[in-house]
């Protein structure tokens, strides 16, 4: 009798455990870039913890590395191959025109401030344009200021003319034309190898890549412009059908730990990664040329970028948004956020 009761109890416990296990949902996140990249080291793992806590463990997050080329992640999520992912807007040049507003030179704020400002402007101005149709946005973000990493020293823009520079699309394409470089398109993951082999002479990237991509080993010269040359814009997104299949309270919980909160986290992570990138560059003996506000190259750059704001406004005329107002508000939000951070 005792054995029978014990067996029944064990069976009941087993059924309960099975039911609990079956009630859990696994959310598959696809990511790229090296493990040390802030998205992989900090942002996705932190968000995974937030999701599991907010859903009381009913949704578990599993992060998968390198499930495809970075430009395919939008499609991979739309097709349900993975449930969530992130990518660079420059990888969808005809589709994602509006977020490029944050990439334009002259913003002069941290990635955190830029990321939050882009989220707020996306929600207020850009959402109705449906550039993210088929996706549910989780966050918008930028990396830190893009700078110039080169094999040879660059003392003027004349030194740069004709150089083979890897660009990542977006605003970088326009900058490359204005600088009269020879642009080379390639995934970020290929930059180290291309620099090492002399296929390219340099790259536009944030300083974090001195550490993350080990550029300090192949790019012994780093030219740092005040506020950077540009910002790179990205988004994190999830399959809306995945959310629809969840209990509504769990779907709501996931979105509650996303949005502005997740955008700010991502921006902060990239900012900290830049600090570590500078440390790695200095430790490796990289020659860091920090330009002042009145340096001839800085002044020439300011002249070079004139008209880029209007060019972007004209490029999104088909989107049905007040682009000029959106750009002005984005910069106001970002700069006010930055000022509050400094207080």
Kindly give, in sequence order, each residue whose CB lies less than 8 Å from that of residue 93, ignoring residues fewer than 6 positions away.
169, 170
Count of CB atoms situated within 10 Å of the CB of 216: 20
Report the C-alpha gap between 275 and 315 in whole angstroms.
Answer: 34
Q: Which residues of 124-133 are buried (b: 16+ CB within 10 A; e: fewer)?
A: ebbeebebbe
Report the C-alpha gap between 95 and 133 in whole angstroms.
Answer: 10
Report pLDDT for 180: 97
Report the C-alpha gap between 199 and 217 in whole angstroms.
Answer: 15
Bridge-based pairing state of the strands 59-65 and 233-238: unpaired
Look up tokens 């540009």; give the residue. Answer: 230
Tens-digit pLDDT profile for residues 18-56: 333 447 999 999 999 889 899 999 999 999 999 999 999
Q: In this model, does residue 104 exceed pLDDT 80? A: yes
Asked if residue 146 lies in contact with residue 232, where contact means CB atoms within 8 angstroms, the answer is yes
Q: Which residues of 48-80 are buried (b: 16+ CB within 10 A; e: fewer)?
A: bebbbebbeebbebebeeebeebbbbbebbbee
3-state secondary structure of 304: helix
Report pLDDT for 20: 39
Report pLDDT for 17: 36
Report pLDDT for 163: 97
Tell me the whole-structure pTM to 2 decimals: 0.91
Confidence band of 118 (pLDDT split at 50, 70, 90): very high
Tens-digit pLDDT profile for residues 278-337: 999 999 999 999 999 999 999 999 999 999 999 999 999 999 999 999 999 999 999 999
Report the C-alpha gap between 261 and 267 in whole angstroms.
Answer: 10
Please name which of 42, 44, 60, 99 lies closest in space to residue 236, comparing C-alpha atoms: 44
Q: Round the average pLDDT of the chain to a whole number and report it.
A: 92
Q: Which residue has the higher pLDDT, 73 or 168?
A: 73
Query: Structure tokens of 195?
Result: 């620099």
Q: What percent of the chain has pLDDT over 90?
A: 87
3-state secondary structure of 337: helix
Q: In this model, does residue 9 exceed pLDDT 80? A: no
Please name which of 59, 105, 95 lies closest in space to residue 258, comparing C-alpha atoms: 59
State the DSSP code for 187.
-
Bridge-based pairing state of the strands 164-167 and 202-206: parallel
Confidence band of 169 (pLDDT split at 50, 70, 90): confident
Kindly give, in sequence order, each residue whose CB lies less than 8 Å from that of residue 91, ignoring residues fewer than 6 positions away.
70, 71, 74, 169
Name, of 31-40, 75-84, 180-189, the range with top average pLDDT: 75-84
Report the C-alpha gap between 8 and 12 in whole angstroms.
Answer: 6
């Amino acid at each position: 009798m005792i054995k029978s009761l014990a067996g029944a109890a064990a069976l009941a416990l087993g059924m309960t455990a099975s039911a609990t296990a079956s009630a859990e949902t696994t959310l598959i996140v696809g990511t790229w870039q090296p493990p040390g990249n802030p998205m992989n080291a900090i942002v996705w793992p932190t968000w995974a913890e937030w999701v599991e806590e907010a859903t009381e463990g009913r949704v578990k997050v599993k992060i998968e590395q390198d499930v495809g080329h970075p430009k395919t992640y939008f499609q991979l999520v739309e097709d349900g191959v993975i449930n969530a992912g992130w990518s660079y807007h420059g990888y969808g040049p005809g589709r994602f025109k509006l977020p490029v507003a944050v990439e334009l030179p002259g913003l002069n704020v941290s990635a955190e401030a830029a990321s939050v400002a882009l989220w707020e402007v996306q929600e207020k101005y850009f959402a109705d344009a449906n550039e993210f149709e088929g996706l549910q946005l989780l966050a918008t973000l930028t990396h830190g200021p893009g700078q110039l990493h080169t094999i040879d020293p660059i003392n003027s823009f004349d030194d740069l003319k004709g150089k083979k520079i890897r660009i990542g699309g977006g605003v970088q394409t326009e900058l490359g034309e204005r600088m009269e470089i020879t642009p080379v398109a390639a995934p970020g993951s290929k930059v180290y190898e291309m620099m090492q082999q002399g296929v390219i002479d340099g790259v536009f990237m944030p300083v974090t890549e001195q550490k993350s991509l080990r550029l300090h080993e192949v790019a012994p010269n780093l030219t740092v412009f005040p506020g950077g040359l540009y910002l790179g814009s990205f988004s994190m997104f999830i399959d809306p059908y995945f959310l629809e299949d969840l209990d509504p309270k769990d779907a709501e919980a996931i979105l509650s730990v996303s949005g502005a909160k997740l955008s700010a986290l991502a921006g902060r992570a990239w900012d900290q990664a830049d600090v570590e990138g500078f440390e790695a560059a200095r430790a490796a003996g990289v020659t860091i040329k920090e330009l002042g506000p009145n340096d001839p190259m800085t002044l020439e750059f300011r002249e070079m970028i004139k008209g880029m704001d209007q060019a972007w406004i004209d490029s999104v005329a088909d989107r049905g948004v007040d682009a000029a107002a959106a750009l002005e508000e984005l910069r106001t939000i970002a700069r006010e956020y930055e000022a509050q951070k400094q207080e």
